[in-house]
């Protein structure tokens, strides 16, 4: 199907996981849906919440898989097959514990970095060559065991930074849609809270 672009925010469904660090992808697509004034519907055949928007002649599908993180690829694979999407029209938004809070990094492909949601998507798409936008959530004291951290909620200082991160990341997604990934990658970096308004 021509001109359909899929933007997937990764996270876990349910109130227990709402606004946790691991749900940064959910938070971004929720912001985009609000900004674009599009409504969420539950699409059971995809096991997902989906919001549809028309932007500059393109149909953008915002998606929150409802499979839980480790099975995200089931939803993404089903949507990609249904809409016959080439990899170049798929963008996945995920948290990244190896990036400091305040960092946004868009890449055209690459490693999952041990992120189980990305691993599942790579498995179902049988490729790593899809765009991924990583939002830094940091890591506590350099520990490798980070389950409690990623499933915890942002503290007050992180929440203030997160607002700026979501602004920058939203602009990256819009630039990806409107002008391509190379232009969107120009917005990679660490959000400067004091100067972020100047980047809009």
What separation, in Å, do the N-terminal and C-terminal C-alpha atoms of the chain show? 32
Helix (H) or strand (E) holding 162: helix 156-179
**Cα separation, 98 vs 144, whole angstroms:** 10
Catalytic residue among 22, 115, 124, 149: 22
Q: Is 22 a catalytic residue?
A: yes
Closest CA to 36 of 196, 182, 177: 177
Nearest C-alpha neighbor of 9 from the set 18, 138, 125: 18
β-pair type (131-136, 90-96): parallel
Catalytic residues: 22
């Amino acid at each position: 199907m021509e001109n359909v672009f899929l933007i997937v925010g990764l996270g876990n469904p349910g109130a227990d996981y709402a606004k946790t660090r691991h749900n940064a992808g959910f938070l971004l697509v929720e912001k985009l849906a609000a900004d674009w004034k599009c409504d969420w519907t539950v699409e059971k055949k995809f096991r997902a919440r989906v919001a549809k928007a028309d932007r500059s002649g393109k149909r953008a599908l915002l998606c929150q898989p409802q499979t839980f993180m480790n099975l995200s690829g089931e939803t993404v694979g089903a949507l990609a097959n249904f809409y016959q999407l080439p990899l170049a029209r798929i963008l996945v938004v995920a948290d990244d514990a190896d990036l400091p809070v305040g960092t946004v990094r868009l890449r055209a492909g690459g490693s999952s970095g041990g992120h189980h949601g990305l691993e599942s998507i790579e498995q179902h798409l049988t490729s790593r060559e899809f765009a991924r936008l990583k939002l830094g959530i940091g890591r506590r004291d350099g520990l490798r065991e980070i389950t409690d951290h990623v499933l915890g909620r942002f503290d007050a200082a992180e929440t203030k930074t997160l607002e700026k991160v979501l602004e920058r990341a939203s602009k990256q997604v819009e630039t990806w849609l409107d002008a391509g990934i190379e232009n969107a990658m120009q917005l990679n970096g660490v959000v400067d809270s004091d100067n972020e308004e100047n980047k809009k």
